[in-house]
Amino acid sequence: MFNGISIFTGNAHPHLASSIAKHLGAKISGALVSRFSDNEIRVKIKENVRGKDVFLIQPTSPPVNENLMELLIMIDAIRRASAKRITAVIPYFGYARQDRKDQPRVPITAKLVANLLANAGVDRVLTLDLHAGQIQGFFDIPLDHLYSINAFVDFFLKKKFKDKLVIVSPDVGGIKMARAYAKRLKAGLAIVDKRRNSPESTEVVHILGEVKDKIAILVDDIVATGSSLIEATKSLKNAGTKEIYAAVTHGVLSGNAVEKLNKSYLKQLVVTDSVPLPKEKKSPKVRVVSIAPLMAEAIKRIHEEESISILFDF
């Protein structure tokens, strides 16, 4: 479809990369990404990329360190092969939750990863629903930040709910995004006032807003252990909510998260395919919507030097 463009992928999410390439009418360029006998990562670019606009699709999802190192090494290989420009397409940006010093003697790992990407030789980054907006400022190279709201809104509009909707933000920091959903779905707005006891444990203190006899949609950027989501679901149910859905961009679902979700009051969890969903994590309660069309359109616009603001202006 495009002259002078090459699309590569590592082992993190080849299915998503293929879907994006299909929407672009392109194909995945050849690359060997394997392991040496001592488990070091081996990379060889099999096609000529000299003078080309290269897009490398690799979410840094679990196993995060493996996928991040693959990404860095592939960037280095492509840079040394004289590519004109390298754009790292990272639908899920790992280490994003470590974005500030909230305790003494802890790292700001999101900034470290931003530095690693720039030093490896990437020219541009394309990502989706960062955990914290300020991470955009950690990069000294252009970063395009997309939002998955359109995919979720389209999904819920098709359901044609008969009862009144209320969009629920899981914390104060998510109010802006929740308000955008509420506006698009013509719904009410509520906020979960919670206290975090540890990185894996939270306690809901209050529900701010009217949720009784309504259908609630919790919106968030990431679900890992599922503990926060389940605690919020319990509180909403106790407050008289009829049905509870969740729209979460990155369905990491680590540990026994799916098992806990299956036993919860949650009617359905809708996630995107920003990270792969293995067979053991699939459930009747988990529904996946694709962000491949969104990412493909962004890649097309970046390659053709067009504005992509229409894609992330939610």
Q: What positions carry a catalytic annotation?
A: 194
Burial 131-162 (b: 16+ CB within 10 A, else e): beeebeebbeeebbbbbbbbbbbeebeeeebe
In the chain, how long is the greatest CA-to-CA distance? Answer: 61
Q: Phi, psi at residue 252, to the nearest 5°?
A: -65, -45
- Residue pair 125/94 in contact by the 8 Å Cβ criterion: no
Which tokens in the block code for residue 167? 């969009």
- Residue pair 284/274 in contact by the 8 Å Cβ criterion: no
- Residue pair 79/52 in contact by the 8 Å Cβ criterion: no
Q: Compute the 3-state secondary structure of the chain and give helix, strand, coil in percent, each to the nearest 5.
A: 35, 30, 40
